[in-house]
Structures are given as structure tokens and as C-alpha cells.
Chain A
Amino acid sequence: MSDTVIKCESVYKIFGENAKKMLQEANGNVDAKTFQENGCIVGVNNASFEVAKGEMLVVMGLSGSGKSTLLRCISRLTDATGGKIFIEGQDLLELNNKELIDLRRNKMGMVFQSFALLPHKTVVENIAFPLQIKGINTDDSISKAMDMVKLVGLHGRENYFPRELSGGQQQRVGIARSLAVEPDIWFLDEPFSALDPLIRKEMQDEFLRLQDKLQKTIMFITHDFDEALKLADRIAIMKDGIIEQLDTPAKIVLNPATEYVRKFTEEVPREKVLLIEDVMDQTTSNNLGDLRVSKDEIIENVAEKILTQEKTVGVIDKNNNIVGSINPTKIINTVFGGRKNEN
């Protein structure tokens, strides 16, 4: 990958008194059970991955899987017990306090599950807070914060207190606050989990719109697999502190690496996740019909068209070159048949 922004090399986070010593003795072979017997709890177990510039990595896992802990290691809200973390090539764990504060003030933004707004500040004051902490004067920080208020669609409510807003609105404030310093790296810790389903969907769309515009490097934590599929460039699925699989949504759905991951993928409506590219035949036959579909289309959007065809349909790339083919049977198999085959 070209521009790596976040890079983790076998990161461990172990809670407990003798964590460091035990980790050294374990010699990279950490077993959660033996640690637990000795009074240590393994939060993150040997996590290694990279996040490229402008990429959105969604870390997905159930509660207690260590996903939030992993995020806190990378933002250094907690110190990792072992391993190395690089932010734009800088060794995060080597930074002193001042450098760390500097990094957070200029490069990082974070959104929290429970919003974590300051109760004594109004919407605009909350958003201006990181700017003021940085030392920007009141007028500039407030006017910058007002831009943010507009960006997240809270115009007219800038003088409200957090307690006067709905959950969705509060999280918009949280998002605006995390973006106020124009960070390159954006951490989101289950930002939509505390919201109603309808609001959640609305916020997800809003989030995609923002990301389309801003192109940040993102680590997004969620326990909702559908949310992960909807948003992610790549998904990391965590269980008991271990990253079980890290791949694109399509590959995870098509080739779940472990039994645990497969359970998640079972119920997923494939036609909504997979692209034509993921299921097409690489070979092109001469016997193509007249219809052409783009390889980047989601199956659901073109399924009807393909199914009405009798002949195999040609798949094209952006430059209208034929790169593959797909026939209606393949579509039917993908949507209805796939699960049976796996069983």
C-alpha cells in the first residue's frame, strides 16, 4: 500500500499487575486462559495491520472482544503492553507527553459512543473546545466552530446545551467537535450504537456523505456487522482480542476465514454486499447478449435486469472494456443457493 497512516505491529494490551512481565515470558504466544488464571485479562492479542491514507477500516466485534481497547491503544488513551504502533511513520509509544498532545491537537479526532459532550458548554462551545485548547482565540474558534455546526446540519441550535438535544443531534455535535481541528486521522468508537435504528441509518448516510467530502483516514468501531458492511473499505473482525479476519466486505462474505466469522456472514443478504466483479466469470464468451453491466455495481441493483436476460451478460469496466461475463444462473446461485452449498 502506498501511504500507510496507521501501522500496528503485533500490538498487545494486557490488563493486570504483572502484565508486562508475563507478556515477555509468554514469548509472543499469549493464551488468554493462562493469563486469566494469573489475574491478567487479555484485551488485545497480537494485532498487526495497516491503514492507508483515506481508507476506512471498520473494526467489528461483540462486546468484550477488545475492539475499543485496540482503538484506545492506537489513540494512546491507554498504553499498549507490547508491540509497536506507527502513526505516519512516527513511533507512537516513543512520543513524550508534549509530542503526544501535539499529535492529538493537530492530527487526531475521536467520536465516542456516549457522545462525551461537556455538559456545561453549548453546542458551539463544545465544538470550539479543541480549538481553544490549541490556543486559538475566541473569535476565530467560534467562527470555525460555526462552520462545523453548518457542516453537520445543526444550524440554529448552536446555543443549545447538550441536554437539550436528541441523541442523534448530540452525536452530530460529537462528530463536529472531532472534526473541528481538521484531523487527518479520525477515530469513531461505536458512534451510532446508542441511537435509534432510523436515526442510525440517517447518521450512517450522513457519515458517508462527510467521508466522501473529507477523505479522512478512519478507524471505525462497531458491533453491528451490517453497519460494518455498509461503511467499510476493509473490515477487521475481532474475537477475544484476536483479529480473526481482516479483508474487504466482499471477501469476508465470500470466504469467511473462521467458523466465528462465518456465523456473521450467514444472515447477510449477499446481493446487497457483493459487487458484480466479485461473482463474475473472468472468462468472456463470444455468446454475450446485448446488456452490459458495470463491474462496480452492487448485485441488487442490476439483478432484475440480468435475470430477464436469456443470454450471458457482459461485464465492463470504466472504459467500457469487457472484463468478464455473468449469467442469470450465477445470480440466482449467489442470492439463494450459496448458503446451502456451505452447509
Chain B
Amino acid sequence: MEFLKKNPKIFQWLFLLIVFFALCFAIEVPETYKFIRGQAEFVKDPNQSTFVFAGKEVRYYAFDVFWRLPPLLGWLPIWINDSLFFLMNDWMPMEFWNEDTQEFKTRPLLLQISRNLTAFMTFIIELIREILLGGLETIVAFTSWDFIDANPWAELPGLPWTIVAAGATILSYKLSGKGLAIFAGLTMVYISIFGQWKPSMQTLSFILVAAPLSFIFGLGLGISAFKSKRVEKALYPILLVMQTMPQYAVLVPALVLFGVGDHAAVIITMIVAIPPMILLTLLGLRAIPPEVIEAGRMSGCNNWQLMFKVLIPTARRDILIGVNQVIMVCFSMAVISAFIGAKGLGFNLLLALNQLNIGLALEAGLCISLIAILLDKMSLAWANKQTDYFGNLTFFERNKNTIFFIGAFVIGIILAYIGTFLFKGTFNYLFEIPHNKGISTADFWNKGVDWIFDTFFVYIKAFNTWLIQDVLQPMRALYLRMPAIATIVLVVGAGYLIGGVRSALVVCGLTLFIALSPWWDRALVTTYMATFGVIVSCVIGFTVGTLCFQNKSAAKFMLGVCDIFQTFPSFVYLIPVMMLFGITDTSVLIAVIVYATIPATRYTIEGLRSVPVGLHEAATMSGVNKFQRLTKIEFPLAFPHMMLGLNQTIVFALFMVIIGAFIGTEDLGQYILKALSDKNGAGIGLTLGICVAFIGLIFDNLIRTWVGKRKKHLGIA
């Protein structure tokens, strides 16, 4: 009792838990309750109740309201759908001039805008694609199909792969030096001789459009948010939701607005990639010391010069992290947007995963990862590039890179020409190695997988069964056993204890949205999988991080590893786990754990690093040993930063759980995937996405509030 009096917080938490468990036991599981699977929810069931809101009939399984809240928000997806259709098909019809038919045509405004945007995007993508691979579309865009028919020569020839490879190498050399040049060269050669050239260039052309556009828009919006409080206030909630919204969920509305194809993929990628860019731009600009701004002003900068010559370069560190994020998101979207018809490596990867051809998936995945790392490193090197004003260079030295490229260009063309004689009747391997006609190691990997499966089947299966039966199933049952009211009380109570009334209200609103949507059960399953993944990830991440921190080079090495792993698109993580565990929940969870361990490890190391040196020395002089220093000094001070890592871990885990639906899990992700192939899926997809985002935001809000208070308390805000 003394103890409780001294620690009123602990008493409050205990009280909250007691209330929670009391509610859990007091509210019985209704006899009619069962976890509804798959299609059943879309089939009319006589046991369902209905209600009508705003002219929409919503059907649901009625339970005791303490057990599960009625899905009062069930009309929302339907309503979103109808509004979207109305906007697209009936809103603001206007007369538009149609080039092809030479007449005015009546079309809804939004449809016209969307069509124009589509045409524009398609044109840029095709232009880059045809420079790399050759084709007709660009010339058609300027002339017409008739022109092409009349002039069979009018076709962009495309570059031989040797030239593109040489170009990438020389550019890397110019930007960064030998190391990157060798990496670029090897990457390009690998892509080519493994027969992934065409899909890789398709993906590249998609990224070369999406990434710069995302960068420009993100930077621009970030700047305007920095300059105007009002813009920031308007953007902030959208940014928050977008940050935690799974990329899958945005696909469906985009499908409705922009249709299927690369252009829709680019737009959707921009929507996903812009928010982190805005946030990091804002963060970087905020952190600029006021004296630097004043120095810029006193140097006589006008607003434009101040922004682009002083502020943005000074905030470069954060903006570059933003660029890195943009590239990361672009590549992970390159895979995901294959669902809505983007061509390239992502499509091949999905196809291979679908056919369970692990070897092919591995090769495609490796290509994506390699290009991602290459582009990331190149953009970094570009931003850090220095000019030499004093070297007295000859003409050759100044222009050697250009000269080399021209040389490579000529040699490439000559080689391709020789190739036409060398490989008469077959494919010209010196021009382009066609898909699946290169070397492939797929068989090797597939055999390897088979071998692993045959050899270790017993153990893997035993582990699998144990994990599912003894850990996952009970955990899942526990989560589903929670009455909705009890969960809400727990979450809101936690919000109140951590952040007071304000936090409690925010959290309450977020939880209620999920509880009132028709997918509370699914959300619980998502949460359970994420929780499991987060717990394991954190244990691994915190341990590995702490161990690595003991040695400087180990810490540096680990951060490097995290960097590389972060560049892999999330889908790639599914490949090795499917190799080992096949199509089970275990696979998804292991992918979740691997993926979510990255931020946990990174933030642990960074947090421990940020402990001031002075404190270290003070501790050492007080005669603590290494272990005491860790537990008494470093952990308490690094803890807030580590909690931010936990926050990231949760978001990463949620993303992976949702993507895991591709292998087949019974959570929100499954429905999102289903909504993709549903004509009326837009509303459902969006609402589901918001639900997932809100799960993330509940934890986000609690953790951030706590961290803020803790940091203030420790005086390290």
C-alpha cells in the first residue's frame, strides 16, 4: 500500500487493468457469435439485421452492444462509392473539344481532368520507356497512327543495353567515384544477362517519372507548409493518416479515378510518396538556426534566393532522408501497383509469387532491390557533390565523362550492329537480352527450396504447428474474446493516463471509428498479428541494437545493414519466408518480424548514441561498470528515442501484415485485396485503409504523447 501511495500512476494503471478485466469477464460471449469467414459476409444471411441510413441499407450481425458495437458506419463505404461514381460520371458535365472526332463532346469535369492527367502521365512514361527500350507511342503522340503506317522507319529504336549500362557507370563515377561506378556496372550487367532487362527498364521508367514528381511536389508543399501556418494545419491530419495508411488501400480509389495502367500507378505512388517528403522537408526547414536565415537575408537574398540557396541546402540532411524515403516508397509501390496494371519487375514478381516460383521471384526481387539501392546512392552522391574551382584542368579532363559516354555510345551501337550478324536468326544479345532468355538461376533456387522442404520438412512443420497451435491461435482467441466496450475502455483509459483528456478524446474517436465500422473483428486480428510481430521485433531489435552499441564499428555496420534492408521493397521480404514456411500465417509473421526489426534496431542504436558524452564520463567517474552504466544511465536516457523506434516498428508491422494478405491472412488486408477486384471496392478499400491507419494512429498518439512528456521530464526535449 505504501508503494502504491508513492506511485499514484501505478495505482491508476492497476485500476484501469482491473476495470478492463472485470468488463471482459462480466460480458459473456453471445451464443450466436462466431468469427465470420470470407465470402459469408457478402452473402445474404437471414440472421442479419439491417438499418437504413441516408438511403443506404446496411446489413450486419446484431450482438449485444457491449460485446460488439453495431456497424453504424457501415454506410460509409457505400456512400464513398456512390459519391465517387457521381463525381466521375455525373458531376459538372461540360463541353470539351475532342481532337479525334473533331467535335464538342459533353463530359463530366472530373472525368475530363482525370483523362487529361492520364494522357499526360502516359506520355512521359512512354517517352522514357521508349528511349530505353524503343517503341512507337511517342511519335504517335506527336503525329498519328496513319503517319506511322506511311513511314515505317518512324520508330524510336531504343538504346542497346550496353549503352545504358555504360551510361549508368559513367554517371555513377562522375557523382561518387569508383565504388559506386563498379556497383552500377555490375547491377546493370546482372540485370541484362539474367534476362530482366525489359521489365527492369519498364520499372525504371515508371520510377524516373514518379520519384522526381513526388520530390518536387513534396518539397513544394513542405515549403508552403513552412511558410504558412494555415497550410500546415490543413495538411497535418492528412499527412498523419497517409503515413499510417497501407499502400494497398489507396489502390482501389485510384483504380476508379484513373483506371488501370502505369499512369495510375504513378499517380498512386505520388500520393503515397509525397507525405513523408513533406514531413521531412518541414522538419529540416524548422531545424535551421535563425542566425543562418538572418545571414542569408543580410547577404542580400531575395525570398527566392533565400529559399533555394540558403534554406533548402541547409536543411539538406533531412530533405535527403526524404528523397531516400521517396525512392523507397516508389520501389515498394512498383510492386504493389502491379495490382493495377503497372508493367515491369513488380508484375513479374507478383506472377512468380502466385505461381510459387520462388526462384523467379527471387531474381526479380533482387533486381528491384539493386536498382533501388543504386538510385538511392546516386541521389545521395548528387546532393553531396562538390565543385573544384582551382584545379587547372585541360579540356579533356573537364569533359572526360562526356567523352567517355560518347565513346561508349558509339561502341554500343557498333556492338549492336555486329550483333545483328553474330546472332542471325536468334535474338541480338548485344542489343537486348529478352525476358527469360538470359541466364536464370531460378531452377537452382527452386531445387534448393524443394531440398530444404524435403530435408527439414519435419522440423519446419513441427515448428509451424507449435507456433500456430500453441502461440498464435490462443493469442488470436484472446484478442477476439475482448468485448468491444472493454477494449475501448482500456484504450481510452490509457490515453487519459498518458496524455490527459485531449489524448483520451483523440484515441476514443479513432477507436470508435473502427468499432463502428463493420470490420472490428478483422481489425482485432490485424492488431493481434501486428502485436505479435512488434513484440518479437522489439525484443530482437533492442537486444541486437544494445549489443551492437557496445562496439563502435559494429554499430556502424548494423546501421549500414539497416539502411540496405530499408531499401528493399516490402514485398521482397515475402520471398524467402515463403521459401521456408509456405503459405501460412507463420510466413507472414516472420516477414513482419524481419521487416519491423529494422526500425527497432536502428532507433535503439541511435537512441543509445544520443546519450551525451559528458554523462558517460560522469558515470564512469562514479565508478559504474558497463552493465550499470547501461541500465542506470543509457537506457533511461535513450528510452524516449527507443519508443519512437517502437512507433515506427508498429507502422512497419502493420504494413507488412496487410501485405501478408497476399499469402492469405484473415485480417483487414484480406478485404483490401478483395476490394481490388470488386467493382464497388473503392469505398470499402478506402474505409479499410483508414481503419488500418487509425490502428497505427492510436499507438502513434499514445507513444508520442508519452515520449514528449518523458523528454520534457528528462530535459532533453
In the complex, A29→B310 CA distance in Å? 40
In the complex, A159→B386 CA distance in Å? 10
User: Is B461 an interface residue when CB atoms closer than 8 A count as contact?
Assistant: no
Whether the Cβ atoms of B294 and A77 lie closer than 8 Å is yes
Which one, B289, B298, B313, contacts A104 given CB within 8 A? B298
Which B residue's beta carbon lies closest to that of A109?
B298
Whether the Cβ atoms of B314 and A118 lie closer than 8 Å is yes
Which one, B291, B294, B301, contacts A133 given CB within 8 A? B301
In the complex, A285→B266 CA distance in Å? 97
Chain A residue numbers with a CB within 8 Å of B313 are: 118-121
Which one, B300, B302, B310, contacts A118 given CB within 8 A? B310
Which one, B298, B309, B387, B389, contacts A110 given CB within 8 A? B298
Whether the Cβ atoms of A130 and B300 lie closer than 8 Å is yes
For window 84-109 of chain A, which residues contact chain B by CB distance below 8 Å?
97, 101-102, 104-106, 108-109
User: Is B299 an interface residue when CB atoms closer than 8 A count as contact?
Assistant: yes
Chain A residue numbers with a CB within 8 Å of B387 are: 125
User: Is A75 an interface residue when CB atoms closer than 8 A count as contact?
Assistant: yes
Interface size of B by CB at 8 A reads: 22
The interface centre, meaning the residue of B298, B301, B316, B388 with most chain A CB atoms within 10 A of its CB, is B298
Which A residue's beta carbon lies closest to that of B301?
A133
User: Is B144 an interface residue when CB atoms closer than 8 A count as contact?
Assistant: no
In the complex, A142→B386 CA distance in Å? 15
In the complex, A21→B132 CA distance in Å? 66
Interface of B is mostly: helix
For window 159-184 of chain A, which residues contact chain B by CB distance below 8 Å?
159, 174, 177-178, 181
Chain A residue numbers with a CB within 8 Å of B298 are: 75, 77, 104, 108-110, 178, 187
User: Is B295 an interface residue when CB atoms closer than 8 A count as contact?
Assistant: yes
Chain A proximity mask over B300-320: 1 for CB below 8 Å, otherwise 0: 111001000110011010000
In the complex, A97→B289 CA distance in Å? 23
Which one, A72, A120, A134, A178, contacts B314 given CB within 8 A? A120
In the complex, A178→B295 CA distance in Å? 9
For window 247-271 of chain A, which residues contact chain B by CB distance below 8 Å?
none
Whether the Cβ atoms of B389 and A118 lie closer than 8 Å is no
Which A residue's beta carbon lies closest to that of B388?
A159
Which B residue's beta carbon lies closest to that of A76?
B297
Which A residue's beta carbon lies closest to that of B290?
A116
For window 368-404 of chain B, which residues contact chain A by CB distance below 8 Å?
386-390
Q: Indicate whether A113 sits within 8 Å of B291 (C-beta atoms), given known contacts A101-B300, A104-B297, A118-B310.
A: yes
6 nearest interchain CB pairs?
A105-B300, A116-B295, A130-B299, A116-B291, A110-B298, A104-B300
Q: A110-B298, A116-B291, A119-B316 are in contact. List 15 more A-B contacts (CB 8 A).
A: A75-B298, A77-B294, A104-B297, A105-B299, A105-B300, A114-B291, A117-B295, A120-B314, A125-B387, A129-B309, A130-B300, A133-B305, A134-B300, A138-B389, A174-B295
Binding site for B on A (CB under 8 A): 72, 75, 77, 97, 101-102, 104-106, 108-110, 112-122, 124-125, 129-130, 133-134, 138, 142, 158-159, 174, 177-178, 181, 187
A-B contact pairs, 30 of them (CB 8 A): A72-B294, A77-B294, A77-B297, A97-B302, A101-B300, A104-B298, A104-B299, A104-B300, A105-B300, A106-B300, A109-B298, A110-B298, A113-B291, A114-B289, A116-B295, A117-B295, A118-B310, A119-B314, A120-B313, A120-B314, A122-B386, A124-B389, A125-B387, A130-B300, A133-B309, A142-B389, A159-B388, A159-B390, A177-B295, A187-B298
